[in-house]
Amino acid sequence: MSTWKKLQDARSFLFVPGDRPGRFRKAEESGADVAVLDLEDAVKVGNRDMALQEVVAWLATSGRAVVRIRAGQDVTPLKGLPGLLGVMVPKAERPEDVIGVHETLDRPVIALVESAAGVLAATSLAGARGVARLAFGELDLAADIGAQPNHRAMLMARSTLVMASRASGLPGPVDGVTAKFDDDAALARDVCAAMELGMTGKLLIHPRQVAVVHDTFHPGDDDVAWARRVVGSINSGGGVATVDGAMVDAPVLRRARTILVRFGSGAHAPASKEAEGAA
């Protein structure tokens, strides 16, 4: 699997502080789809140089991970590292913010949208060269606009990222963190709310969140069975059918096929953007 496809298919991105190298292996073995070595918020200012050295050393040997850099950080120390899957660019607001990182490192970029300017530029960011996916930082956005980081206040921003992703041929964006890492019910609610809008991944801050996210992002047996009935109801000639007393037309058929493709083979990444950034 290419690194591009791996990032586009991932449901879970688990952060680990870059200055805690003892946790790198644990994050990689946590079951999360992608480990994210964090050089930004999780690292104390005085530990930044040490964190970068530890991340470079890890990715130069056996480790494989995405790295979240600091805004405006010199990324050349990461160049050529065999274990670098991609780069998460925080506070992304302009296409040039992400294009420059992609061109320097030749790796897929996840544009982390965390500000009002970033939300309004979501379409440009999603269409920028090298961007594999958008991600959402609702805590920073809430602070930026003076809002509460709840579902109602963040609805427009989340929906904007979903629409921008779709319009640019990207998979659904990655939802932000659930800060209460020991509340499985709250996490499941957050994932369900994100799924309803069309988001397809989640940023995590603790390994215990991985299982809940994976279980919740997968459709239930009833949903899969419904999708199979819908797909089976349409003959090769097309037309309209009825399943479970409801009409099946082209949009319903597309939704059913999406469920089967995304959660059957996992191949939901659009071919055009995947091919552009395969590594």
Tens of pLDDT, residue by residue over 146-190, are 999 999 999 999 999 999 999 999 999 999 999 998 899 999 999
What is the rounded CA–CA span in Å between residue 198 and residue 172?
A: 6
Model pLDDT, residue 263: 61
253-259 long-range contacts, CB within 8 A, separation 24+: 255/227, 256/226, 256/227, 256/228, 256/230, 256/231, 257/227, 257/231, 259/219, 259/223, 259/224, 259/227
Model pLDDT, residue 268: 36
| Rounded mean pLDDT, 204-220 | 88
Chain segment 216-264, per-residue pLDDT in tens: 886 666 666 767 777 777 654 556 677 776 777 677 777 677 667 666 5
What is the rounded CA–CA span in Å between residue 101 and residue 74?
A: 9
Model pLDDT, residue 278: 34
In CATH, which of 2.60.420.10, 3.30.830.10, 3.40.640.10, 3.20.20.60 is domain 3-218?
3.20.20.60
For the chain, the maximum distance between any two Cα atoms, rounded to a whole number of angstroms, is 66
Contacts of 184 by beta carbon, 8 Å cutoff, 6+ apart: 208, 212
Contacts of 135 by beta carbon, 8 Å cutoff, 6+ apart: 13, 88, 110, 111, 112, 113, 173, 174, 175, 176, 201, 203
Are 109 and 75 spatial neighbours (Cβ–Cβ below 8 Å)?
no
What is the rounded CA–CA span in Å between residue 70 and residue 67?
A: 10
What is the rounded CA–CA span in Å between residue 31 and residue 88?
A: 20
Model pLDDT, residue 171: 94
Model pLDDT, residue 250: 72
Model pLDDT, residue 216: 86
What six digits make up the tokens of 89? 């660019």
Q: What are phi and psi of 16, to 5 degrees?
A: -140, 135
| Rounded mean pLDDT, 43-47 | 93
Model pLDDT, residue 217: 81
Mean pLDDT of the chain, nearest integer: 88
Model pLDDT, residue 133: 98
Does the pLDDT value for residue 279 go beyond 60?
Answer: no
Chain segment 107-146, per-residue pLDDT in tens: 999 999 999 999 999 999 999 999 999 999 999 999 999 9
Model pLDDT, residue 242: 72
- The residue ranges of every structural domain in the chain are 3-218, 219-279
